Structure 1
Amino acid sequence: MTRWTPDPTFYPSPGQAATAPPEKLAYVAAFDRSARRPDAIVVLDTDPDSPDYGRVVGWTDLPHTGDELHHFGWNACSSALCPTAPHPHVERRYLIVPGLRSSRVHVFDTQPDPRRPRLTKVIEADELADRAGYSRPHTVHCGPDGIYLSALGGADGRDGPGGIAVLDHTTFDVRGRWEADRGPQHLAYDFWWHLNHDVLVTSEWGTPSMIEDGIVGELLLGRRYGHALHFWDLATRRHVQRVDLGDQYQMPLELRPAHDPTRTYGFVGVVVSVEDLSASVWLWHREVGGDGWAVTRVIDIPAEPADPADLPDLLKPFGAVPPLVTDIDLSVDDRFLYVSCWGTGELRQYDVSDPFHPVLTGSVRLGGIVARTAHPAAPDEPLAGGPQMVEVSRDGRRVYVSNSLYGAWDDQFYPDGVGAWLAKLDVPTDDGGLVPDPRFFPRGEEFRGLRVHQTRLQGGDASSDSYCFP
């Protein structure tokens, strides 16, 4: 059915999006590490006035096993209102859910009952390979002219190059490969854009053989994982510039551009420095007095000393816990940056009003390789894993974190088991701060033995939408 008015969850500007009503539901990707049971899309009640608040209220199994759900996204969002390629009659209705190991892409309809998403289409791995030349689909973003899907591998799981495929807004068919000229780009991970400036940015992780069986120590110490950002002409789909962070800074992963469409800067989190096990956050921005791009390190987070006896085998020789920044998220008003330190079990909040000089304004610890910090709702339960995937509500007052990174990597850093939990943190004042919500802590058997990864919020969240009006 055609909509004659735009979806009410679309907003032309980030300022208007920040006034949106609070989310009532959250959708969570859950996976079975053993690949013996189907993965699932899990629905949580996020309405504090509901008797089911903080509980699982919906569950949809996938039809196969071994998908390993990871990242996912909406079919459409506020970018549909952009004047360059308007699609105002699409709805934020479908969840596009890739299987990182199977290379299948699943389409779930959240209507008519948002608590019971229905699987309506499966894009098989051979369609993605035949039409786009890719496998291992990872990140989903809704663009003004289609659905963009990054992939880590080449066709049939070959070791690259990875890149971006485009799906049709309406049929969800794979249109083809996005890149017209990829230049030196080979490794892939995340991507985002500055729509008003015709700029796309991509980051780097590794090819399937580099990541699927866990982190490879020889590759890490050999500085073989990704360590650069790539800048592209969005209109012509051509590579413009590669900026190397330095090969000691391994794995620049999540990209978070400013939501204000007049700005041309953004943040990227770097997992680890092989020189001292620190993690870092970098700012990309225009070169001073030039048309090119530069990247500046703006946050350093040191490793924390630890008894080797308390560390997994991979870390014993170092006698320290690396922070392992594995996700970041930027509030819709571009005020606060959230940084997940999955290794030490810390979520950090920075005021980035001056993006070149972040100021730490909040911190909460949950889990951690050594600390195993408990949640206030269950003070006697040591937690494995740590804040990993982080999602922020549109008004910036609620932050959701889940604890699993990636199956094989979970097992390396938490060999005694990573468990499953998801926490909600409140931002109590306009000046920041973080406080765990004692009423919202689904965990363990509530997820039926599955691990939990990314969370998406009903109606949109801080990392779903891009805007074309300031």
Structure 2
Amino acid sequence: MDKKDARSCCRHGPGYATPLDAMKNGPREKLLYVVVVQPNLDQPDGDYLATVDVDPTSKTYSQVIHRTYTKVKGNELHHSGWNTCSSCFELKSEDVSIPKRDKLVCPSLNSNRIYVFDLSSDERKPVLYREIDGSVLDEHNVSAPHTTHCMYDGTVLISTMGDRNDNAKGEFIQFDSEFNCLGTWTRGDVRPDCGYDFWYQPHFDVLVASEWGAPKLFKRGFKMSDIENPKEYGRSLHFYRLSDHKLFQTINLGEDGITPLEVRFLHDPLKCIGFVGCALNSNLYCFYRPNENDEKFVCEKVVDIPNMTVLENNVEVKRGGMMSDILISLDDKWLYLNNWLHGDVRQYDISDPKKPILKGQLFLGGVANLKNVSNVDDDKDSALKPVFMNGRRLEGAPQMLQLSLDGKRLYASSSLYSPWDRQFYPEMIEKGGHVVMIDVNNKTGGLTLNPDFFIDFGSEPNGPALPHEIRYPGGDCTSDVWLAETANK
């Protein structure tokens, strides 16, 4: 059977049969769902999910067209994920109901609440479907929920970073398709010290997880002294078997790998290779299995971004890039990453995953643009130039990234985490963050800021706000996981 015919000739679940099916046949995005944090903790509507019109033929193009408020202060919504995805595309003959991708799950880092938004009645106007109270996580001695992934068995898995007292603890909390809590996921006696992001490849029976740090530490802002204890600020990757939920390997990345955050497998379900971006020193690592008969992984540093030397109040300081997001195009050719403190977005050709080649770079802010800060690096002149959109200076720097299915448009938001925003980019707290669109040359490489698209979260109804993660209806490059069964058809 031809792969492109798999969708039309049989019953199937949500998403696409293969990553290339999504890339070639998926529609152009018309809406974005942006998780937005309200930094004013006295504002009663709290954080919200913003719907942004990105249809260039629409009269409301490049505007926030709806806001769904949580109506609770101090949540700190952060990441989001779907109730189901392409990992549920293949249906068994006995399956009666077809799962629908119509719920967006948004955990809160600070309050431990989990919000579920319903898109089934109107994609342009999500409604709050369910609020899972923080006491649910407390009952299972976990806190600071982060990454949400729909699993191939129909459940929803969320990584957590702390215990009920905000000490470091790497774990996962699992929910069924109706969002009833099933408890923690990990089995066995071996557990990681820290948690953060995760991804999985069903064909190889593996889930990989990364580390940030103890919530009690990162919630109060960044302190260089915090990283000295590896049990409280992570530097390891963890590999689990999906079949028995047991941790079978931990790789310590050392000092160069402190804070390994966003982790991605290649989209091809038949390839057991991936990347992790290590934030503090802006290093990119590639992990893979060198022996197909051995479940153990190796991990190699493949990109090392030098520190930027700046003068802060006439004191010379070395600033790491703070690589806080990475994503991979659906054809597994391009990897995009940000340096939140340096202020740039980079595009790498990963046709050879062990030898990425830099093909595009764009500066959109960064610490060199702050008051009382100047750049003393001769090779980063472009970082000295403030960027303006519609007369508004971009505060902060590129943070969360999302790529269009066809790989031609890259969206970037500016907020990392409000306590850290306040510490590193205080003017973004006062003036609000933003979302921009970057036009991508996905043939030979290159990044260009699109001058016609700009979402200014400084002019929101409830005051300046901070945009973080971005999703599309129908799935995107950082939510879907594929199965070998559909790839082989």
AA aligned to 1:204 is E
Match of 2:132 among 123, 142, 158: 123
Q: Which residue of 2 aligns with 1:25?
A: 31
Correspondence 1:108-187 to 2 at 5 A: 108-130=117-139, 132-145=140-153, 146-154=155-163, 156-169=164-177, 171-181=178-188, 183-187=190-194
- 1:4-60 residue CA offsets vs partner (Å, 9 max, x unmatched): 9545x5112111011201111000011112322211100000111112111111111
Match of 1:16 among 6, 17, 21: 21
The answer (yes or no) to whether the contact 1:308–1:320 under 8 Å persists in 2 is no
The answer (yes or no) to whether the contact 2:160–2:169 under 8 Å persists in 1 is no
Distance 1:291 1:250 in 2: 24
Correspondence 1:40-439 to 2 at 5 A: 40-82=48-90, 89-130=98-139, 132-145=140-153, 146-154=155-163, 156-169=164-177, 171-181=178-188, 183-221=190-228, 224-273=232-281, 279-288=282-291, 290-309=294-313, 319-371=317-369, 373-375=385-387, 377-378=389-390, 381-418=392-429, 419-439=432-452
Distance 1:296 1:339 in 2: 17
- 1:122-170 residue CA offsets vs partner (Å, 9 max, x unmatched): 111112222x43211111111112111111111x34414231111111x
Distance 1:79 1:85 in 2: 16
AA aligned to 1:94 is K
Deviates more, 1:82-91 or 1:410-419: 82-91
- 1:221-258 residue CA offsets vs partner (Å, 9 max, x unmatched): 55551000011111100010010101343100000111
Distance 2:238 2:404 in 1: 29
Distance 2:299 2:442 in 1: 31
Identity of aligned residues (%): 34
- 1:419-449 residue CA offsets vs partner (Å, 9 max, x unmatched): 3110111113422311111111111434341
- Secondary structure of the structure 1 residue equivalent to 2:405: coil
Distance 2:459 2:101 in 1: 27
Distance 2:167 2:93 in 1: 34
Match of 1:464 among 454, 473, 479: 479
The answer (yes or no) to whether the contact 2:85–2:480 under 8 Å persists in 1 is yes
- Secondary structure of the structure 2 residue equivalent to 1:18: helix
- 1:277-309 residue CA offsets vs partner (Å, 9 max, x unmatched): xx1100011135854111000001111221222
Distance 1:294 1:58 in 2: 45
The answer (yes or no) to whether the contact 1:162–1:207 under 8 Å persists in 2 is no
CA 1:144–1:368 in structure 2 vs 1: closer, same or farther (change >3 Å)? same
AA aligned to 1:305 is T
CA 1:199–1:182 in structure 2 vs 1: closer, same or farther (change >3 Å)? farther
Shift of 1:376: 5.7
AA aligned to 1:102 is S
The answer (yes or no) to whether the contact 1:69–1:98 under 8 Å persists in 2 is yes
Distance 1:320 1:186 in 2: 28
Q: Which residue of 2 aligns with 1:276?
A: none
CA 1:103–1:225 in structure 2 vs 1: closer, same or farther (change >3 Å)? same
- 1:327-349 residue CA offsets vs partner (Å, 9 max, x unmatched): 11111111110011100110000
RMSD: 2.1
CA 1:358–1:86 in structure 2 vs 1: closer, same or farther (change >3 Å)? farther
AA aligned to 2:241 is D
AA aligned to 1:187 is C
Shift of 1:416: 3.8
How many pairs align?
451
The answer (yes or no) to whether the contact 1:70–1:453 under 8 Å persists in 2 is yes
Distance 1:391 1:321 in 2: 25
Distance 2:284 2:252 in 1: 14
Q: Which residue of 2 aligns with 1:445?
A: 458
The answer (yes or no) to whether the contact 2:286–2:301 under 8 Å persists in 1 is yes
User: Could you list the runs of 4 or more consecutive aligned residues of structure 1 that deviate by over 6 angstroms after TM superposition?
Assistant: 83-88
TM-score, normalised to structure 2's length? 0.88
Q: Which residue of 1 aligns with 2:376?
A: none
Deviates more, 1:210-219 or 1:367-376: 367-376
Distance 1:265 1:416 in 2: 40
AA aligned to 1:107 is V
- Secondary structure of the structure 1 residue equivalent to 2:423: helix
Distance 1:291 1:120 in 2: 40
Distance 2:355 2:47 in 1: 41
Distance 1:82 1:285 in 2: 26
Distance 1:264 1:30 in 2: 34
- 1:171-207 residue CA offsets vs partner (Å, 9 max, x unmatched): 1111111101251412000011111111010101112
- Secondary structure of the structure 2 residue equivalent to 1:272: coil
The answer (yes or no) to whether the contact 1:190–1:202 under 8 Å persists in 2 is yes
Distance 2:189 2:64 in 1: 43
The answer (yes or no) to whether the contact 1:269–1:326 under 8 Å persists in 2 is yes
- 1:67-93 residue CA offsets vs partner (Å, 9 max, x unmatched): 011001111110112469997711110
CA 1:85–1:354 in structure 2 vs 1: closer, same or farther (change >3 Å)? farther
Distance 1:51 1:126 in 2: 43
Unaligned runs of 5+ in 2: 1-9, 371-384
Distance 2:189 2:355 in 1: 33
The answer (yes or no) to whether the contact 1:368–1:383 under 8 Å persists in 2 is no
Distance 1:51 1:403 in 2: 25
AA aligned to 2:214 is T
Q: Which residue of 2 aligns with 1:313?
A: none
Distance 2:171 2:262 in 1: 15
The answer (yes or no) to whether the contact 1:334–1:353 under 8 Å persists in 2 is yes
CA 1:254–1:291 in structure 2 vs 1: closer, same or farther (change >3 Å)? same
- Secondary structure of the structure 2 residue equivalent to 1:325: coil
Shift of 1:65: 1.0
The answer (yes or no) to whether the contact 1:390–1:402 under 8 Å persists in 2 is yes
Deviates more, 1:196-205 or 1:368-377: 368-377
Unaligned runs of 5+ in 1: 274-278, 311-315
The answer (yes or no) to whether the contact 2:407–2:442 under 8 Å persists in 1 is no
Distance 1:85 1:99 in 2: 37
AA aligned to 1:129 is D
